Amino acid sequence: MARRNIYFKEKTEREVQDLVQIEIQDGATNGDVNFSSMVNELIGIGLMVKNIRGGE
């Protein structure tokens, strides 16, 4: 898995962290979900949407 250093807007970081906390409250462990895994999932979804839209 590639490792990248990226910067997030504070609002984006809070929203991702909120999603992680929701998953943990729903029973996921820190091993199941963390900031990195959530960002990876969200980027995957975003890329699928972009590809469906034709890469506009």
- Tens-digit pLDDT profile for residues 18-54: 999 999 999 999 889 999 999 999 999 999 999 999 8
Centroid of chain to Cα 11: 13
Buried b (16+ CB within 10 A) or exposed e, 15-44: ebeebbeebeeeeeeeeebbeeebbeeeee
Contact (CB, 8 A) for 42 and 16: yes
Helices then strands (H, E): number in the chain? 2, 0
User: Which has the higher per-residue pLDDT, 1 or 46?
Assistant: 46
Report, as an integer, the average pLDDT of 6-17. 96
**pLDDT at site 56:** 61
pTM value? 0.84
